[in-house]
Amino acid sequence: EDQVTQSPEALRLQEGESSSLNCSYTVSGLRGLFWYRQDPGKGPEFLFTLYSAGEEKEKERLKATLTKKESFLHITAPKPEDSATYLCAVQAWQAGTALIFGKGTTLSVSS
Amino acid sequence: NAGVTQTPKFQVLKTGQSMTLQCAQDMNHNSMYWYRQDPGMGLRLIYYSASEGTTDKGEVPNGYNVSRLNKREFSLRLESAAPSQTSVYFCASSEDNGSIYGYTFGSGTRLTVV
């Protein structure tokens, strides 16, 4: 069964304190791994897609990396506006276009 | 350019009532999806439509029906609402497998069944 596990469930950081969010996955044939950001009361917003182990992508203070079993979302020198829930999802070759989501990590950054 | 539009934004139903959640996208995407989001459960796929004229069950389809009315519109129907269907419902769309630009999500429908 395809599965996505995110940790920690919640993370509190001080502004400027770098850290990483983890996404472990089990999928029979990874087509892509996705990261989304979700603000309270809104729909998820696309951040990155990673396709193969060793791949990295960056956007402002965020950098996503991928191995054969997990992905990390590194947050460098976070700001309060980075506070949100970060969702990881996988897409399997045999499942067509559907995504399987993890439960998310809620990040709070205080100034 | 509205993206994905969901209506209504909020709804309260009594147990046993029926309703249809509407979703429309203006990005000419082939694929559309319905997810529900519950505290502690994450986003779970209810139904999806890979292209106009096709629909497939996701992880939690029981109690729901869908209609892909045309390329733009994908509706979700609750025939006899139950308290277990209290949730936030998100519609999304993607071009093909959504890998380059991801899915585009609507802002959600918050449904309460009493």
Whether residue B43 lies within 8 A of chain A, CB to CB, comes out as yes
- A98's tokens: 């559907």
The C-alpha of A76 sits at a distance from chain B's nearest C-alpha, in angstroms, of 23
- B101 chain-A contacts, CB cut-off 8 A: 46
Model pLDDT, residue B98:
66
Angle at B35 between CA B32 and CA B36, to 5 degrees: 160
Model pLDDT, residue A2:
84
**Each residue's pLDDT tens digit, B74-114:** 999 999 999 999 999 999 999 876 667 789 999 999 999 99
- Beta-carbon separation of A87 and B104 below 8 A: no
Question: Cα separation of B18 and A36, whole Å?
Answer: 32
Residue B37, phi-psi category: left (phi > 0), alpha (psi -120 to 50), beta (remainder): beta
The C-alpha of A75 sits at a distance from chain B's nearest C-alpha, in angstroms, of 21
**Each residue's pLDDT tens digit, B42-74:** 899 999 998 888 999 999 999 999 999 899 999
For residues B44 and A4, is the Cβ–Cβ distance under 8 A?
no
- Beta-carbon separation of B108 and A87 below 8 A: no
Strand-pairing partners, residue A65, are A56, A72
Residue-level length of chain B = 114
Model pLDDT, residue B99:
67
Model pLDDT, residue B97:
65
- B106's tokens: 């609507």
Whether residue B104 lies within 8 A of chain A, CB to CB, comes out as yes
Residue B92, phi-psi category: left (phi > 0), alpha (psi -120 to 50), beta (remainder): beta
Model pLDDT, residue B16:
97
